[in-house]
Structure 1
Amino acid sequence: MNTTPASARLADLPTDRVHLESCEPAIALGPLDGRYRAVTAPLADHLSEAALNRARVHVEVEWLIHLTDEGVLPGAPRFSDAEKEYLRGLVREFSDKQIAQLASIEAETRHDVKAVEYLLKAHLDAAPSVLGDTVLPQVHEIVHIFCTSEDINNLSYALTIRSAIEQVWLPAARGLVEDLRSMARDHAEAPMLARTHGQPATPTTLGKELAVIAWRLSRQVARVESTAYLGKINGATGTYGAHVLSVPGADWPAIARSFVEKLGLTFNPLTTQIESHDWQAELYSDIARFNRIAHNLATDVWTYISLGYFRQRLSAQGSTGSSTMPHKVNPIRFENGEANLEISCALLDTLSSTLVTSRLQRDLTDSTTQRNVGVAVGHSLLALDNIRKGLAGLDVDEDRLREDLDATWEVLGEPVQQAMRAAAVAGATGMADPYERLKELTRGKKVTPEAMREFIANLGMPAEVEQRLSALTPATYTGLAAELVAQIDQLPYE
């Protein structure tokens, strides 16, 4: 434990330093809004606090229009097309001015959804200056009618999460799959030594191994694409209590369903005060699973680079490899990808496990939790960007692939053994104990081409089988690997 008094520590920052929290423009605390802003900025239009507030305004406006269009409320006016356009203009034009207005209102209300309600009412009051004669200033009491905050929030989150996934994350995820698919096709016939358990194993092709990852990732893309984004608008405990008491003649479940479906969401007919968030947990689990497969890709490619199977183009990785060792080109894209995928998964796992639980009819644990959805998706997006750029900077060293194959003739112990078994079944003699005999020849030993062919020649195999085995090399022992790559022409998400 360091017991040096603060007054004696020379390494301390000066106490009269400029405190960075006072700098303008404001300095980001997190890397997604700082160092990596260029990559993750598109998510701000969907998963930032401002984007959430814009979605809340959208839901409030559309609920107001929906109720008046449906004629649900006795005595309520019908809006003209110009009035509806004016209302929706608040959403279209939502930017710095409205963000500042909301911040000012919330400083007084101490309630974010109430601030949105007041912003919309102020917009109603300003309507005559734009429209002239209008009923909008007289409909204050329809704004937010029959709604609890969670009615607005659950729909707003569903809309913003859906747009973020469909417009930002999914294109990046599909892009990685397409990159892998292209690489798999290009290298479908490039023989490569497999390394099960890290040990030389039955050869494959580089393209087939990349195709496996593409296929795995595409299944998760398909799951994300099929996500049902649920929503509800049924009041304080999900009973339509205030609705039915105030306007008993209306079919409120049908009105609620119609509204939710107009927003392009899936109606959840049974909830407490909150929409249960189960769909979010399912979505985050699918994204996390995609992340973990991408992590597997990053670690495998990192290993292939260390084995020399891939060469990195310096221009694609950055101008500096190591700060002290000029010969190095570090695989930083894949390492950064790994780290960001791990952070993303940690957050997604927390979201998945936390959001499905709410005490009795409502608690607020989901409020702060959901504000981290953008961070979780942002780290995944950043990882995908890194991995894709890393893959784009690789060249295959086919000489190195051949070198490894030529040095491991012992891997042909498997096909020789299996051919002996098949010959024995077909009636050939002298094929006893094939596994043990090949183990004696190959285990823990380097086998030369000559030794392997001599072993085959002394087996007494049928001539046709012996000829086929004698012609075999590690580079040609790849089975149907090259042909299997064609499977990626029908990826699950297509």
Structure 2
Amino acid sequence: MAETARISLASEPLALGALDGRYRAAVAPLVDYLSEAALNRDRVHVEVEWLIHLTGKSVLPGAGPLTAEQQAALRAIVTSFDASSVAELAEIEAVTVHDVKAVEYYIGRRLAGIGIEHLTAMVHFGCTSEDINNLSYAVGIKGAVENVWLPAARALVAQITEMAEQTRGIPMLSRTHGQPATPTTLGKELAVTAWRLTRQLDRIARTEFLGKINGATGTYAAHYASVPGADWQEVSRTFVEGLGLTWNPLTTQIESHDWQAELYADIARFNRILHNFCTDVWSYISIGYFAQIPVAGATGSSTMPHKVNPIRFENAEANLEISNGLLDTLGATLVTSRWQRDLTDSSSQRNIGTAFGHSLLAVSNVAKGLERLDVAEGVLAEDLDHNWEVLGEAIQMVMRAEAVAGVAGMENPYERLKDLTRGQRVDAERMKEFVSGLGLSAEAEARLLALTPGSYTGIAPVLVDHLKK
């Protein structure tokens, strides 16, 4: 069959990927930190601050401290960085065929206007490209984590925590191995997820964002060759820490990226816990524990008008899987480098924004999905009432306690309950009849006769309080 003639869209400013197209609104805040333009702005930021740092330390003879006005003018190169700056950098890079060198020339062009053109040679002084890149990535990733991803993730956990508080007392049948099991409460189960996610967020919040600025192979060779009298390790440490990063004193040409691998492993673990939550909520929706609130005008199925599909949770699952695929690859790739340097990290790191974007999109999807859920308490109660056999655990444990206390006739409690309940349904009447015939002490018998599947939840509601600690 001949291919249908069509107009090419390749020349149009259209997105190739979903994050820059369909889902742009959900991930747009990351653009300010993890896009190519943001990376270039951060490169300019690092180069400018390095120049200010060197002059402030009077490291190079003849390059005394800059005036406050000159420093402000240099920093304005960063704060005024915009679309025209991106375009100019692209023009320079087309000639240099080197992105960091283009940044150096971009800054150099502006020094005459500040009255410090004599310091042009100090731009990028002693630096290899990785000195600028590792710091720029660290600044951008730190900003993305602290200002975008973590707040969104914490807001979602707060949403789940609030649901746990509201439903702490709603009894629910557990399903270990997919089979009816000792009841719990909906709130306690939600609290388990909130607790797990919070631990991961606390780990992520403690991330060390490392950086280095020590030359072509991490030896400060060019630094000491040009200015042997300076304490270059101290100059390096104070500069990196001044950027809000942790100084890495021992590297090859590249900062080793171990901190990135650690961070991505923690975020991937958060993603996996959230993925598990999505599949559980999806399953509870499918058995009617949650009712979905229809969105006015929305279509669930193109052919079945009655359907309200749990698409938010399904979309979240897919995006979490894509995010983790990238995060796992980044974590594995970035910690390796041939000898003192290869470029595998360069191409890999250009996907950091995509990895964060799919995770952030999933967080957004889950939050929106949870907003459209109602708890079907009647369905939960009915399910419990159809599974009186789950009290078998309680009864046989009471019998064990009675036997220890010297009550006669309490032999083989597990086996007797197994014969009563295994592979068959036991209703309330049959269970009470069984309890009444055991010969328990009056107190124990009364306690068991008062027990129902809905009240056999232990201290589940109280356990939710751990989220406040």
TM over 0.5: yes
2:90 equivalent in structure 1: 103
Task: Report deviation, 1:13.
Answer: 2.8
Give the distance between the partners of 1:323 and 1:117, measured in 2 at CA: 55
Q: What amino acid maps onto 2:320 in structure 1?
A: L
Alignment of 1:271-420 (within 5 A): 271-315=251-295, 319-420=298-399
Alignment of 1:93-492 (within 5 A): 93-127=80-114, 134=115, 136-315=116-295, 319-490=298-469
Q: Flag structure 2 segments of 5+ consecutive residues without an equivalent.
A: none
Partner deviation per Cα, 1:225-276 (whole Å, 9 max, x = no partner): 0000000000000001111111111111011000001101000010000000
Q: What amino acid maps onto 2:350 in structure 1?
A: R
Alignment of 1:7-86 (within 5 A): 9=1, 12-14=3-5, 17-23=6-12, 26-86=13-73
Give the distance between the partners of 1:270 and 1:220, measured in 2 at CA: 28
1:4 equivalent in structure 2: none
Give the distance between the partners of 2:282 and 2:81, measured in 1 at CA: 45
Task: Report deviation, 1:76.
Answer: 1.3
Q: 1:88 aligns with which of 75, 81, 106?
A: 75
Give the distance between the partners of 2:100 and 2:412, measured in 1 at CA: 77
Give the distance between the partners of 2:88 and 2:404, measured in 1 at CA: 83
Identity %: 64
Task: Report deviation, 1:453.
Answer: 0.6
Q: What amino acid maps onto 1:120 in structure 2?
A: I
Task: Report deviation, 1:22.
Answer: 1.1
Give the distance between the partners of 1:125 and 1:28, measured in 2 at CA: 39
Q: Secondary structure at the residue paired with 1:192?
A: strand
Q: What amino acid maps onto 2:9 in structure 1?
A: L
Q: Secondary structure at the residue paired with 1:22?
A: coil
Task: Report deviation, 1:125.
Answer: 2.7
Provide the TM-score with structure 1 as the length reference: 0.94
Task: Report deviation, 1:79.
Answer: 1.0
Give the distance between the partners of 2:412 and 2:300, measured in 1 at CA: 52
Task: Report deviation, 1:126.
Answer: 3.0
Q: What amino acid maps onto 1:20 in structure 2?
A: L
Give the distance between the partners of 2:4 and 2:188, measured in 1 at CA: 55
Task: Report deviation, 1:399.
Answer: 0.4
Give the distance between the partners of 1:322 and 1:125, measured in 2 at CA: 64
Give the distance between the partners of 2:435 and 2:81, measured in 1 at CA: 77
Q: Flag structure 1 segments of 5+ consecutive residues without an equivalent.
A: 1-8, 128-133
Q: What amino acid maps onto 2:328 in structure 1?
A: D
Q: Secondary structure at the residue paired with 1:446?
A: coil
Q: What amino acid maps onto 1:65 in structure 2?
A: I
Q: Secondary structure at the residue paired with 1:328?
A: coil
Task: Report deviation, 1:431.
Answer: 1.0
1:6 equivalent in structure 2: none
Partner deviation per Cα, 1:309-342 (whole Å, 9 max, x = no partner): 00000128x7011111111100000000000000
Task: Report deviation, 1:77.
Answer: 3.3
Q: Secondary structure at the residue paired with 2:295?
A: helix
Runs of 4 or more off by more than 3 Å in structure 1?
none
Task: Report deviation, 1:432.
Answer: 1.1
Give the distance between the partners of 1:158 and 1:305, measured in 2 at CA: 41
Task: Report deviation, 1:426.
Answer: 1.6
Q: What amino acid maps onto 1:43 in structure 2?
A: L
Provide the TM-score with structure 2 as the length reference: 0.99
- Aligned pair count reads 469
Give the distance between the partners of 2:438 and 2:220, measured in 1 at CA: 83
Task: Report deviation, 1:425.
Answer: 1.4
Give the distance between the partners of 1:21 and 1:169, measured in 2 at CA: 32
Task: Report deviation, 1:435.
Answer: 1.0
Give the distance between the partners of 2:257 and 2:404, measured in 1 at CA: 59
Give the distance between the partners of 1:18 and 1:118, measured in 2 at CA: 40
